[in-house]
Amino acid sequence: MIKGLKILLIVITVLVILGLALPRDFRVYREIEIAAPPESIYPYLNELFLWPLWAPWSDPNTRFTIGTPASGIGAQQSWEDDSGGGQMTIVASDPRFGIRYEIRYGNSAKVYPAQVGFQRVAPEQTRVYWQMEGEIDSPIVGPFLALLTGTMIGDPFEQGLSKLKWLVESPTTETPETPAASAE
């Protein structure tokens, strides 16, 4: 019994020391190539009403609210779910490069910057990337969560990019019209 408590104390001590020593910052980056020009992809990024068609978090139990405007700089989307929800706001939008947005989780004032951007690599071929970075402020636990972001955030990014690729490359999908975007 005492030996077991000593082992438990050692494990807890090591975890605390690691939690204090490991970095709390993270950066998640995923990309995919889509057989389409940027102008066929941009509306799906800029228009928040189109995000449910490809975004990986379109769960039937999640309630989304899209504000006005619904596209371009200042467009906002909030959601409520079992984990507390959050809010995203488009802060930059350019049909040549994609969008940048800020995301908040729950009622936190902490902002995480993210971006879905693209680069034309051939006339009908575009590299689309999705990235997010930040720092998890929670002491001791934060660094362990930062280590898991590759799976917790990266895997859904990959799913979303794959769905976007399928949607844009689908022969039955027409490129939606989007209001003129405000360039950064």
pLDDT for position 20: 65
pLDDT for position 58: 67
- Residue extents of the structural domains in the chain: 2-169
Read off the pLDDT of residues 25-80 as tens digits, 9 standing for 90 and up: 778 999 999 999 999 999 999 999 999 899 887 677 888 899 999 999 999 999 99
For domain 2-169, the CATH class is alpha beta
Contact 131/138 with Cβ under 8 angstroms?
no
Is residue 180 predicted with pLDDT exceeding 50? no
Is residue 98 predicted with pLDDT exceeding 90? yes
- What distance lies between CA 50 and its chain's CA centroid? 15
- Of 27-41, 98-112, 114-128, the range with the lowest mean pLDDT is 98-112
Listed residue (34, 31, 54) closest to 176, CA to CA: 54
**pTM score:** 0.81
Rounded CA-CA distance 144/15 in Å is 9
Read off the pLDDT of residues 142-155 as tens digits, 9 standing for 90 and up: 667 767 777 788 89
Listed residue (172, 166, 175, 178) closest to 54, CA to CA: 166
Q: What are phi and psi of 152, to 5 degrees?
A: -65, -35
Identify which has the larger pLDDT, 66 or 174.
66
